[in-house]
């Protein structure tokens, strides 16, 4: 499976690449600065790695495909005898666990080779970086489904969105650590931690409790 991205101009990339070859007191600060300059390029076309480094861009096709796989697997673990609301809540919880735990394979497209080489020269695993970005995109897709789910109460949606926001923030911290040259956490322990965290947070948020406002709405 491939990730579709957006293209930067050769002139902008060559300028950034040349600057990265020079000595710098902090190579990771220099790297971040050059990526920021690339993001501000005036001209760009589809199919390049720079889209992975910018915000508010269309979600990748890989993220969409993997999200549907994750949600389908999650649905299989949910009791069909539950009410529509309870089934939805359980499905989103299991989907979040699946998103954080499922193995994800990403590949470097031909248009991304130069960018990946810059990461590699700095000791940063580019595939780890892309994997984290895809997981964040999958959580964004979860948010979209939560917002459109008519079986959920207003309070349910708020609590579920709080959970996805917290998970996205944790993934973003991992990206920041990667760009700072830190090693990626042990995957086995990390998956177990995420699973335990989601289950605990699910209970703490009281997602099975009915908000008073929602209760009044149904009584009117």
What pLDDT, in 10s, does the model give residues 24-83?
Answer: 445 556 555 555 554 444 433 333 333 344 344 456 788 999 999 999 999 999 999 999
What pLDDT, in 10s, does the model give residues 88-99?
Answer: 999 999 999 999
pTM: 0.68
| pLDDT at residue 138, as a whole number | 96
What pLDDT, in 10s, does the model give residues 152-196?
Answer: 999 999 999 999 999 999 999 999 988 888 877 676 666 667 777
Q: With the C-alpha atoms ordered 33, 175, 1, 64, is the resulting torsion angle positive or negative?
A: negative
Distance (Å, whole) CA 177 – CA 170: 11
DSSP secondary structure of 159-197: HHHHHHHHHHHHHHHHHHHHHTTPPPPPHHHHHHHHHHH
How, if at all, do strands 44-46 and 6-8 pair?
Answer: antiparallel
What pLDDT, in 10s, does the model give residues 197-207?
Answer: 888 878 876 76
φ, ψ of residue 7 in degrees (nearest 5): -100, 135
| pLDDT at residue 46, as a whole number | 33
């Amino acid at each position: 499976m491939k990730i579709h991205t957006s293209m930067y101009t050769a002139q902008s990339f060559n300028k950034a690449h040349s600057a990265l070859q020079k000595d710098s007191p902090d190579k990771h600060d220099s790297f971040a600065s050059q990526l920021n300059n690339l993001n501000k390029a005036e001209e760009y076309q589809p199919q390049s790695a720079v889209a992975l480094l910018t915000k508010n861009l269309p979600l990748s096709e890989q993220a969409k495909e993997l999200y549907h796989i994750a949600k389908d697997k999650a649905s299989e673990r949910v009791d069909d005898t539950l009410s529509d609301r309870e089934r939805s809540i359980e499905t989103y919880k299991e989907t979040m666990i699946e998103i954080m735990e499922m193995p994800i394979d990403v590949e470097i497209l031909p248009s991304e080779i130069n960018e990946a080489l810059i990461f590699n020269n700095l000791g940063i695993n580019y595939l780890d970086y892309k994997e984290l970005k895809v997981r964040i995109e999958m959580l964004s897709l979860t948010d979209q489904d939560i917002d459109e789910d008519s079986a959920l109460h207003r309070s349910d949606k708020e609590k579920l969105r709080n959970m996805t926001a917290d998970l996205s923030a944790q993934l973003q911290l991992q990206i920041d650590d990667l760009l700072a040259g830190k090693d990626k956490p042990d995957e086995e322990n990390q998956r177990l931690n995420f699973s335990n965290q989601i289950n605990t947070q699910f209970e703490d948020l009281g997602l099975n409790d009915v908000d008073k406002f929602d209760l009044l709405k149904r009584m009117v």
